[in-house]
Amino acid sequence: MAARQTQNYLRSLFEARGIAPRRSLGQNFLVDLNIHDAIVKTAEVAQGDVILEIGPGTGALTALMASRGATVIAVEIDRAMVQLATEAVADYPNARVIEADALKNKNTLNPEVLEAVRSAVATAHARSFKLVANLPYQVATPIISNLLVHPELCPSLMVVTIQREVADRLCAGPGSRAYGAVSVVASALAEVSIARALPPSVFWPRPKVDSAVVVVRPDAARRARIGDVAWFHSIVRRMFLHRRKAIRLVLQGMWSDRWTKREVDAWLEGRGLAGQLRPEALDAEEFADLAQALKAEPRLAASAPAESGAGALVEAEDAGALLEAEDDGD
């Protein structure tokens, strides 16, 4: 069983191995011993669960979850941490540490990771698949959103430690500055709540920002209501590239070769939607209706909306960059 990681424990472990925390990889380790326990309790980690942990670091949370009998797949990018995490779970055949980047690129999960989960779910006859992690902050949003929209491997529960600003984005509603594409997708597909606020002092080294433990509980009924989740996701993301532009202009620009502004106006009017509304004013229900109507529109024949600018990568950026990208104000 891994040692309970305190700041002193980590300092001497790192010194002995000649390593130092890497800020570029979001290496802020949880050193408040109660929080790993609270995360495991909130996630109700138990035998029969397949748990994906992105960023096990030294493996403290990994070993704790493995000790509860869950099958744990821990994906770590940093070789030094892979070594430590592997040692931490040496006594647990039900835990596996994979050295990999959790993301293939900024918008796609690493297929090797998905395959490892798929095979664990099949062989463990899993009761449920969960994401439980103290996530590296710079990739938290794409990991959560890509898993949430995944057609086959959407977890039944996610309990994750993330930057407070990203947590607020996940929970935000229309009218709030934090509201964005990820807020819409999260509320359209899941129930999201902040289980606990975390000050910088519970981590070593201390991050400059506050954090939170967030619970994302995907909801089958909401998912069924959305229908084509990939289409919905793509529409929401494209529209939020121009969050302050009138939706009539956004929609015309997305399919500029398919319809004129006048035709878009008539189409919106036929659906009782005011063309002057901005994407940032629409709630998840309205986006769901809009996406379905766009999909059914013969002129568009479900053709992918035009990509514009940096937007395709918007979900991969950190919270600050995300805000800028979504805030083009045109």
Residues that bind ligand SAM (CB under 6 A): 25-30, 54-57, 61, 75-78, 81, 101-103, 134, 136, 139
CB of 46 to ligand SAM, least distance (A): 20
Q: Give strand pairing partners of 95.
A: 72
Cβ proximity of 314 and 326 under 8 Å: yes
Q: How far is CA 29 from CA 68, 87, 269, in A?
A: 21, 17, 53
Instruction: Kindly state the smallest distance separating residue 218's Cβ from ligand SAM, in Å.
Output: 22
Q: Using CB atoms within 10 Å of the CB of residue 16, give its burial: 0 to 12 exposed, 13 to 18 middle, 19+ buried.
A: exposed
Report how far residue 257's alpha carbon sits from residue 255's, in angstroms, rounded to the nearest whole number: 5
CA–CA separation, 295 vs 305, rounded Å?
Answer: 11
Q: How is residue 132 written in tokens? A: 């439980």
User: Smaller CB distance to ligand SAM: residue 19 or 46?
Assistant: 19
Structure tokens at 3: 């040692």
Mention every residue, 6+ apart, whose C-beta is less than 8 A from residue 104: 110, 111
Least spacing, CB of residue 325 vs ligand SAM, in Å: 20
Q: How far is the CB of 54 from ligand SAM (least distance, A)?
A: 5
Pairing of strands 190-198, 203-204: unpaired
Q: How far apart are CA 268 and CA 262, in angstroms?
A: 10
CB of 210 to ligand SAM, least distance (A): 14
Measured from the CB of residue 203, what is the shortest distance to ligand SAM in angstroms? 8
Q: Which residue is nearest to ligand SAM (CB)?
A: 55
292, burial (CB in 10 Å: exposed 0-12, middle 13-18, buried 19+) = middle
Is residue 142 a contact partner of residue 129, using CB atoms and an 8 Å limit?
no
**Given the complex with ligand SAM, which of 21 and 180 has the nearer CB atom?**
21
Q: How far is the CB of 139 from ligand SAM (least distance, A)?
A: 5
Asked if omega into 205 is within 30° of 0 (cis), the reply is: yes
